[in-house]
Each structure stands twice: as C-alpha cells, then as structure tokens.
C-alpha cells in the first residue's frame, strides 16, 4: 500500500518492513533549465541545454551545458531536504578544502522543496 505525500515527486511505498521513498514522476527538464538559468545567471537568450544523465534510487543527474561549461545537476527526492542537502554540501566542501580527494565544486544548491523545480509538476 502506498502513502501519498504532498511533496513534489515523492510517494511512500510500504516495502513490508519499512516505508520506502519512491519517485511519482520524473522532474521536468524545462524546470531544471529554469533553475539552472536562475542560479547560474544564464540569460534567456543564451543556450542552456539540459539532458538526463543517470539515475539512482533517490537521485537523478542531469547534464547542463551552457556558456559556463558542462555541469551536473543532482535532483534528490525531498526526504528531509534541509538537513540532508545541507549536510551533503558541507561534507563536499570540507573534503574539497581539506583533503587531496578530487571533489567537484558545489556551484549552487537548494535545501527546500519550495522552488521552481518543486512547483513545476511533471
């Protein structure tokens, strides 16, 4: 039996032993492009191509190509997005600054589901 959530793309599925978060639909590529344009300062007239790159159980990766170069955008299921996302960003920044482990730079992030992507629908 599934439990419906009011959060974008998120539904809870009864896996027998525990509830598991599931995608209800894929994020909109157009909404992802709008978010990228906003956070990266890309004008409407300039190219910003977004394409699906890879998927995991809780995340989707999209390749973003613009005049700023190639970047990856990760979209996660909104399961406790504030703490989860802030913790992941802090960890990546710490590793990047304090070790020799190669870690990509976090250019921008949102730890809320109250943004353009969340309000876009499928």
Is the pTM higher than 0.85? The answer reads no
pLDDT at 120: 52
Q: Is residue 114 part of a domain?
A: no
Q: Is residue 84 part of a domain?
A: yes
- Provide the token pair at 18: 């525990």
pLDDT at 92: 94
Total number of domains in the chain:
1
Environment class of 54 (CB within 10 Å of its CB; exposed 0-12, middle 13-18, buried 19+)? exposed
pLDDT at 116: 57
Q: Is residue 38 part of a domain?
A: yes
Q: Is residue 118 part of a domain?
A: no
Q: Is residue 108 part of a domain?
A: no
- Provide the token pair at 70: 């190639």
Q: Is residue 111 part of a domain?
A: no
The series of mean pLDDT values per 10 residues for the chain, 122 residues long, is 51 80 82 90 92 89 92 84 87 95 88 61 44
Phi first, then psi: give them for residue 52, nearest 5 degrees: -65, 140
Q: Is residue 62 part of a domain?
A: yes
Q: Is residue 109 part of a domain?
A: no
- Provide the token pair at 47: 């190219």
Residue range(s) defining the domain that contains residue 54: 2-98
């Amino acid at each position: 039996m599934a439990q419906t959530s009011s959060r974008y793309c998120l539904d809870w599925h009864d896996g027998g032993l525990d509830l598991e978060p599931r995608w209800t639909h894929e994020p909109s590529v157009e909404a992802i492009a709008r978010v990228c344009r906003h956070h990266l300062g890309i004008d409407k007239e300039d190219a910003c191509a977004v394409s699906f790159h890879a998927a995991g159980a809780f995340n989707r990766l999209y390749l973003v190509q613009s005049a700023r170069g190639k970047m990856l955008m990760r979209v996660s299921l909104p399961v406790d997005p504030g703490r989860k996302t802030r913790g992941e960003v802090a960890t990546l920044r710490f590793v990047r600054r304090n070790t020799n482990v190669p870690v990509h730079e976090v250019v921008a992030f949102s730890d809320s589901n109250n943004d353009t992507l969340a309000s876009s629908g499928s």
